Amino acid sequence: MPQSPLIVALDYEDPSQCIELVERLDPKQVRLKVGKELFTTAGPAILEQLHSRDFEVFLDLKFHDIPNTVAKAVSAAARLGVWMVNIHASGGERMMTAAREAIDKASHQPLLIGVTVLTSMTAEDLHQVGVSRSPEEQVMHLAGLAQQSGLDGVVCSARETPELKRQFGKDFALITPGIRPAGAAADDQRRTLTPAEALAAGSDYLVIGRPITAAAEPARACEDILASLQANA
């Protein structure tokens, strides 16, 4: 099991491209994230392929449905052997508690993580769906609800991590995308932090996609990121 906080986002449509990249990565160095695009294309078979190569996998399907359905979905994810699975905190306390209870009954128990406010949502988007709090206030509110419901942590922007750690403690895991090594292209991300900055701000796991997947030498890109973390430790 890797000691490192790196989770590589496998944002591929084509499973064979994904496996080509994975063959250049080391399961002792990184974990992998499978999201909606790859899972919808390749199904549970892709998880088997990644697990057979000894990788731990974050299944990023952001479940949001009635409590019974979400409980069944996270149980299915647990049976697939994933390391981490996530659900929308805005599904409410009963939905999150049902998911917690389902995982507690499973023989293999993935970490159960909440999505608070998608970072693509602006204050205006929230108002349109009837939320009058600011995005920052809504993140804190939903993270509190997630913790009360027994979730293991939340996905959040690295900018939110200091306040989340302060309010919810060091054992509440914070998983942050929007990370760019110093000098790397920002792509479509805004307000990025470097891996070292994100860890210093309180992130526990860093979700990084293109700086690794689009690198000429992905293994080398991982090593460079890990070295940058050690240099700043």
Cβ atoms 205, 179 nearer than 8 A: no
φ, ψ of residue 176 to 5 degrees: the values are -125, 125
Q: Mark the segment that binds ligand C5P (CB under 6 A) among 18-26, 74-82, 131-139, 206-214.
A: 206-214
DSSP state of 91: G
**One of 146, 208, 225, 226 touching ligand C5P (CB under 6 A):** 208
Residue 18 or 102: which CB sits closer to ligand C5P? Answer: 18
Q: Is residue 35 near ligand C5P by the rule CB under 6 A?
A: yes
Residues paired with residue 57 on neighbouring β-strands, in sequence order: 32
Q: Is 36 a catalytic residue?
A: no
Task: In angstroms, give the least distance from the CB of 229 to ligand C5P.
Answer: 16
Cβ atoms 72, 102 nearer than 8 A: yes
Q: Is residue 178 near ligand C5P by the rule CB under 6 A?
A: yes
Residue 71 or 138: which CB sits closer to ligand C5P? Answer: 138
Task: In angstroms, give the least distance from the CB of 104 to ligand C5P.
Answer: 26
Report the relative pairing of strands 57-63 and 84-88 from DSSP bridges: parallel
Q: Is residue 195 near ligand C5P by the rule CB under 6 A?
A: no
Q: Between the CA of residue 15 and those of 42, 44, 221, what are the distances in Å?
A: 6, 12, 21
How many angstroms separate the CA atoms of 226 and 32, rounded? 15
Task: In angstroms, give the least distance from the CB of 210 to ligand C5P.
Answer: 4
**One of 91, 114, 177, 195 touching ligand C5P (CB under 6 A):** 177
As a whole number of Å, the end-to-end CA separation of the chain is 20
Q: Is residue 119 near ligand C5P by the rule CB under 6 A?
A: yes
Q: Is residue 53 near ligand C5P by the rule CB under 6 A?
A: no
Q: Which residues contact 93 (CB under 8 A, 6 or more apart)?
A: 145, 148, 149
Residue 11 or 93: which CB sits closer to ligand C5P? Answer: 11
Task: In angstroms, give the least distance from the CB of 49 to ligand C5P.
Answer: 19
| Residue of 180, 167, 169 lying closest to 204 (CA atoms) | 169
CB atoms within 10 A of CB 18: 22
The residue annotated as part of the active site, out of 28, 33, 36, 62, is 62
Q: Is residue 133 near ligand C5P by the rule CB under 6 A?
A: no
Q: Is residue 101 near ligand C5P by the rule CB under 6 A?
A: no
Would you state the structure tokens that stand for residue 92, as one six-digit string?
């409410």
Residues that bind ligand C5P (CB under 6 A): 9, 11, 35, 118-119, 177-178, 187, 189, 207-210
Instruction: Tell me the catalytic residues.
Output: 62
